[in-house]
Amino acid sequence: MNLKQALIDNDSIQLGLTAKDWKEAVKLSVQPLIDSGAVKPEYYDAIIESTEHYGPYYILTPGMAMPHARPEAGVIRDAFSLIILKEPVKFSDGKEVSILLTLAATSSKIHNSIAIPQIVALFDLKDAIRRLNDCQTKDEVLSIIEETKDSPYLEGIKF
């Protein structure tokens, strides 16, 4: 599962969205995956339940979260969605997030060996959060993602 291609295939990049709270932000980030048939609607419920039980463990870096749940919680096929909010939302731990890169993985192998390295490569780019927040078009987002193609984090990964 290639991040850039998955976002294109699922038409799952959305910019300039508004959410009143973290739950609405997560809903906005899961909806494109529901609409594209990558996950069942209960996938959203599983993310919310997990967050309420364990806290927002998927905030990976200041300003960015990777909401996800277990494969058996409604994942049909591997996919990503990416939303960028106009204003950040605050999670229960007080951290603010404006970028949600939601992952649907059919296995822990996909999650750990393919998805995570691509996300690390993206957010390892200089000023990645600021640059993504400044994007006005989907093509600008895809262009930033394209910059990761030579990342050492992606060495040996077969897409």
Query: What CATH number is associated with residue 38?
Result: 3.40.930.10
Task: Let me know if residue 85 belongs to a domain.
Answer: yes
Closest CA to 110 of 150, 71, 143, 60: 71
Q: In this predicted model, what pLDDT tens digit does every residue of 21-60 receive, in sequence order? A: 999 999 999 999 999 999 999 999 999 999 999 999 999 9
Q: In this predicted model, what pLDDT tens digit does every residue of 7-23 receive, in sequence order? A: 999 999 999 999 999 99
Task: Let me know if residue 125 belongs to a domain.
Answer: yes
What does DSSP assign to residue 39? B
User: Residue 113's domain spans which residues?
Assistant: 3-154
Residue 74: pLDDT over 90:
yes
pLDDT category at 159 given cuts 50, 70, 90 is confident
pTM of the model: 0.94
Number of folded domains that form the chain: 1
Overall average pLDDT of the 104-130 stretch:
93
Q: Provide the residue type at 74 as one letter.
A: G
Task: Let me know if residue 71 belongs to a domain.
Answer: yes
Task: Let me know if residue 159 belongs to a domain.
Answer: no
Catalytic residue among 4, 68, 95, 111: 68
Task: Let me know if residue 95 belongs to a domain.
Answer: yes
Whether 68 is a known active-site residue: answer: yes
